């Protein structure tokens, strides 16, 4: 069993004024207690997370979040060319998902990851993903 972290979850965890912060804290405690096994995110989510943190807060906060991800036990998976190509196909089909969201769907499939820590309701349309909110 394992879990994948989405941008919204990471940002909520890092921001104590975020509306989902308390929920993110509870989920992160479960992860720390190994309730979900290995914890993953991707290079695309890393990019999206630090970029949004910089835009919404400041560069210092973005660096803090990036360092946290890099120094933690969270494994950052790289998007493969196959994943990229499949995500692009999905992106063209779905108008309610960002390209990064499409890469999440495909990298989770590619790595047999079933749990997704996110606050994006759009992921609920995928029956093979257990959305943790």
Between the alpha carbon of residue 1 and those of residues 8, 45, 114, 127, 133, the distances in Å are: 21, 20, 7, 17, 17
Between the alpha carbon of residue 40 and those of residues 9, 10, 16, 92, 111, the distances in Å are: 12, 12, 22, 25, 10
CB 95 within 8 A of CB 125: no
Tokens of 90: 């999905």
**Which pLDDT belongs to residue 14?**
95
| pLDDT for 38 beyond 90 | yes
Region 24-53 average pLDDT: 95
Q: Mind listing the pLDDT tens digit for each residue in 100-118?
A: 999 999 999 999 999 999 9
| pLDDT for 39 beyond 90 | yes
CA distance 49 to 59: 12
**Which pLDDT belongs to residue 113?**
97
In this structure, the number of other CB atoms found within 10 A of the CB of residue 101 comes to 23
CA distance 38 to 58: 30
| pLDDT for 95 beyond 90 | no
Tokens of 12: 């909520």
**Which pLDDT belongs to residue 131?**
95
Task: Name all domains of the chain by residue range, CATH numbers in brackets.
Answer: 2-132 (3.40.50.1010)
Prediction pTM value: 0.94
**Which pLDDT belongs to residue 1?**
83
Beta pairing partners, 4: 40, 116
Region 28-37 average pLDDT: 92
Q: Mind listing the pLDDT tens digit for each residue in 55-92?
A: 998 999 999 999 999 999 999 999 999 999 999 999 99
**Which pLDDT belongs to residue 90?**
96
**Which pLDDT belongs to residue 54?**
96
């Amino acid at each position: 069993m394992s879990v994948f972290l989405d941008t919204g979850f990471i940002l909520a965890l890092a921001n104590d004024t975020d509306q989902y912060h308390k929920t993110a804290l509870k989920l992160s405690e479960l992860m720390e207690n190994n309730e979900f096994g290995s914890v993953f995110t991707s290079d695309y989510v890393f990019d999206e997370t630090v970029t949004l943190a910089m835009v919404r807060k400041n560069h210092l906060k973005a660096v803090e979040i990036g360092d946290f991800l890099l120094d933690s036990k969270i494994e950052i998976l790289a998007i493969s060319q196959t994943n990229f190509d499949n995500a692009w196909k999905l992106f063209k089909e779905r108008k309610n998902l960002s390209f990064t969201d499409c890469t999440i769907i495909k990298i989770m499939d590619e790595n047999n990851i079933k749990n997704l820590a996110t606050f994006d309701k759009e992921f609920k349309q995928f029956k093979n993903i257990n959305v943790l909110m």
